[in-house]
Each structure stands twice: as C-alpha cells, then as structure tokens.
A = this chain, B = another copy of it.
Amino acid sequence: MTSDLLSRRAAALGGHVPTFYRQPLEIVRGAGVHVWDAQRRQYLDCYNNVPHVGHCHPRVVEAIAQQAATLNTHTRYLHPMVVEYVERLCAKFDHGLTQAIMVCTGSEANDVALRMAQAVTGARGVIATDATYHGNTSAVSALSTRRPPIGGYPPHVRLVPAPEAGMTDAEFAANVADAIAELEAAGEGFSGLMLCPFFANEAFPTVAPGFLCATEQVVRDAGGLIMADEVQPGFGRLGSHWWGHDWIGLVPDIVTLGKPMANGHPVAAVVTRPDIMEAFRSAFGYFNTFGGNPVSSAAALATLDVIEEEALVQNAATVGPHVTEMLRGLDHPFLHEVRGAGLFFGMEFRKDGAPATDFVAELVEQVVARGVLLNKIGRHGEVLKMRPPMPFSHQNAEHLVQVLDDALKATPLDA
C-alpha cells in the first residue's frame, strides 16, 4: 500500500518531494498529542508544532465547520471576526505592536515584513543568520542557505554567522555591524535584521536572555528595523513568555506569525506598530484574498481560546523543565548538551569532539520505530529536535524519555 502510494505520489507531485524518515509514514488520524498511521499504529507526536493545541482539537474543528457553513468571503467586506481576532492577538503584544495584516502562510508574512522594513527605511539591504530558514517565497528564500537562489544571492542580502556555543553577544552584534557596513558600502542601504528570537532553525543554541541587546542597539543605531520571526517560538511554546522576543529580551518592530496560529488552518500574520503599517500601506497596495477570511479568523480565534482556557502556556512552563531535567538524567557517551525552553527542546550529540551526525540519524529512526515522532536539526544534523503539541503532559514526557532511553541503548555507537 505505502509503496504504491509513494510511486503515485512521485508521479503526481514529482521527485525530490521531501518525506520524513527512512520509511515514510502514512499518517491518517490525529487527536491531541497522538497520531495513527494507516496500519493503526499509534505515535506520540513530539515534533509537530502546527497542531499547536493538539491534533484535531474539537473546539477548533467546530469553529471551522460552523463558520465554513455560514460565510467565507474576504476582507473587502466588513466582518467582525477578523477585527475581533486582530484586537485579541495584538493585546498579547507589548512594544506598541497594535496592528496586524492577516495572510495565509509564514512565508507570506515574512515577505510582507521585508517590504515593511523597505517602506520605512527606503532601503533594501537585509540581514539574517547563515543557518536560518524564513520561508519559501522568492524574496524570503533568498535568506536561506539551504539552496542558493537561482542566479545566486541577491546583492541586498547578508548572512551573519548563527549563534553557537561560545559565541558572545558582542561577537554576534559585531558581525551584524560588519554586515550593515558592507550593505551601506555596496550602496544597498540597510532595512533591517530578520531573525527567530529562539534561533529555532539554527538548532536553538543556548543563549542567555539579553543576548540580542547589543545587536538590537547596533540595528537601531543604523536606522534598521528588527523583524522577529515567531513562527516557531510564538503562541507560548517557550512557556515563560507568549513570544520568543520577550523571552530573550528583544524589542521588535515587526513580528511574523505562522504555523501554530490556527492549529493547521492556513493562517499567518504580520504584527507591527501603526507607524510602520502606515508606511507599508502607503507605499504598497496590499490585499490578500484568503487572508483574514471569516473561516480563518474563526479558526485562529478558537485556537487562542483554547490556549487560554486550557492554560497551555503554563503547561509548557511546567512540563518543559520537567522534560529537560529528565533528559539530562539520560546517560550516553555522545550526549553533549540538553537544551531548550518550554516545549521546545533538544539534545546535541558529539562523538570524538565532532558532530555525531550518523548516530543522530540512526537514533531518530530508532525512536520513530518505537512510536515517538521527533526529528533532527543543526548544521550537521547533530541535534535531536522536539516540539510537541502544547497539551503535552508530564505522562507524555515520561513516555518520551523512556523511549529515548531505549533507543539510545539500541543505537550502535558506530552508527
């Protein structure tokens, strides 16, 4: 069955369409923190952040079903739901971030953010880290190192070394300052710095709150804007704060949101200050047909309701440290570091002082074979990455750690 589906898939979608794991999984059902494959095998989902409040949460499903049966249009007609949602969303932000544009994907959100910074500064130059990913549009993917853009990197993009163990905040800020100087010297000017405040795609290196303060000052001194990509850390995943930028102590001018925002419904947003919104709206006649439609707004509202009513941020704040504490208790010769915040955590493995790439690749397969979903990240794939749905419980955490313990013992050291 699965091999038939794989060949039909390749015929219909083309080659090189990524799947997870050596033996791709056919997942057919989800509920809470669990999913089931076509053979009815259950998996504990420790990886998917899109079903933020749990797979197929009945409250979100009901909101989608009810609004889809009532009306689905676009924001050129007035509708109270998009207004109510943006009001409630913006109430979760400080720093004067009181307005939002609703879009459909994190990629669209970051694409808008880049243009907001251009509209404010009149410049195009933009800086990101050299191990990041902010999305798949032409403009945004130019910030990605995964595959260089066709025709090479555009001249207005500069990538600075991502934070890693041992890098000081002053070093990171100095690299940003150098990149700004390069952009200015090249005549590109400087519009801003885009980063994930948790450095999620950079394998979330351990950095102390305050790490970005010096960088923020460098960016402000140069007249640039701070764009915080909250697609991964946002909506309370880090437990102690609703947003990654508040967790690390960074004041953003623009915040982008995506994946977890409506529990899987294609909803994303750009949140900013009125002065920036005005500059963008004046410079650019932006309209997004599906963005903020009544069904998307209903799904996002229900997701917000569930986060609050089920106290999921508090859950991340209590379960997260419990998990990392238990993970630190695991004994393995290659275990280099357990790190994370809230329900976003991982384990870095090194072997003879080098990234244990092959070991981690095999470990992932061993864990999945035991019915737990997770994955790896890092420049060399040396970090186990875990980012479960937010209703992840202490019991789920204990299940995960038990499986990890078994998998660690079963994975050959010479893998």
Interface residues of A (CB under 8 A from B): 2, 5-6, 8-9, 11-20, 24-30, 35, 48, 50-51, 55-56, 58, 60-61, 64-65, 68-80, 82-83, 86-87, 90, 98-102, 104-108, 111, 114-115, 118-119, 122, 124, 136-139, 141, 146-147, 150-151, 258-259, 263-266, 274, 277-278, 281-290, 292-293, 295-296
Assembly of this chain: how many copies? 2
Contacts of A295 in B (CB 8 A): 264-265
Other than A13-B75, A19-B78, A136-B287, give 11 A-B pairs with Cβ distance below 8 A. Answer: A12-B87, A13-B82, A13-B100, A56-B68, A68-B264, A72-B265, A105-B108, A108-B136, A124-B150, A266-B290, A266-B296
Is the pair A138, B139 in contact by a Cβ cutoff of 8 Å? yes
* Alpha-carbon separation in the docked complex, A67 to B101 (Å): 28
* Alpha-carbon separation in the docked complex, A147 to B119 (Å): 13
- Residue pairs across A and B with Cβ atoms less than 8 A apart, 10 shown, are A12-B99, A27-B78, A50-B290, A55-B72, A61-B69, A104-B104, A104-B266, A107-B108, A259-B289, A266-B296
Is the pair A151, B124 in contact by a Cβ cutoff of 8 Å? yes
Given contacts A111-B137, A137-B111, contact A79 B286 (CB under 8 A): no
Q: Which A-B residue pairs are the 9 nearest by beta carbons?
A: A65-B65, A138-B139, A14-B277, A72-B264, A266-B290, A16-B281, A12-B86, A266-B266, A26-B78
Given contacts A30-B73, A76-B18, A266-B266, contact A136 B13 (CB under 8 A): no
* Alpha-carbon separation in the docked complex, A144 to B346 (Å): 45
Given contacts A12-B100, A77-B25, A264-B295, contact A64 B68 (CB under 8 A): yes
Contacts of A13 in B (CB 8 A): 75, 82-83, 86, 99-102, 292
* Alpha-carbon separation in the docked complex, A68 to B30 (Å): 10
Is the pair A14, B281 in contact by a Cβ cutoff of 8 Å? yes
Contacts of A11 in B (CB 8 A): 98-99
Is the pair A25, B72 in contact by a Cβ cutoff of 8 Å? no
* Alpha-carbon separation in the docked complex, A282 to B147 (Å): 10
* Alpha-carbon separation in the docked complex, A105 to B14 (Å): 20
Is the pair B288, A136 in contact by a Cβ cutoff of 8 Å? yes
Is the pair B56, A70 in contact by a Cβ cutoff of 8 Å? yes
Is the pair A24, B78 in contact by a Cβ cutoff of 8 Å? yes
Given contacts A65-B68, A72-B55, A139-B139, contact A147 B285 (CB under 8 A): yes
Given contacts A14-B281, A108-B137, contact A119 B150 (CB under 8 A): yes
* Alpha-carbon separation in the docked complex, A9 to B69 (Å): 24
Is the pair A104, B105 in contact by a Cβ cutoff of 8 Å? yes
* Alpha-carbon separation in the docked complex, A15 to B274 (Å): 9
* Alpha-carbon separation in the docked complex, A106 to B283 (Å): 22
Given contacts A5-B78, A101-B13, A108-B137, contact A18 B114 (CB under 8 A): no
Is the pair B9, A78 in contact by a Cβ cutoff of 8 Å? yes
Is the pair B100, A74 in contact by a Cβ cutoff of 8 Å? no
Cβ distance A200 to chain B, nearest Cβ, rounded Å: 14
* Alpha-carbon separation in the docked complex, A25 to B74 (Å): 12
* Alpha-carbon separation in the docked complex, A147 to B115 (Å): 13
Contacts of A16 in B (CB 8 A): 278, 281-282, 285
Is the pair A138, B150 in contact by a Cβ cutoff of 8 Å? no
Is the pair A15, B56 in contact by a Cβ cutoff of 8 Å? no
Is the pair B28, A71 in contact by a Cβ cutoff of 8 Å? yes
Contacts of A90 in B (CB 8 A): 12
Contacts of A35 in B (CB 8 A): 71, 73
Is the pair B114, A138 in contact by a Cβ cutoff of 8 Å? yes
**Nearest chain B residue, comparing its CB with the CB of A138:** B139
Cβ distance A171 to chain B, nearest Cβ, rounded Å: 29
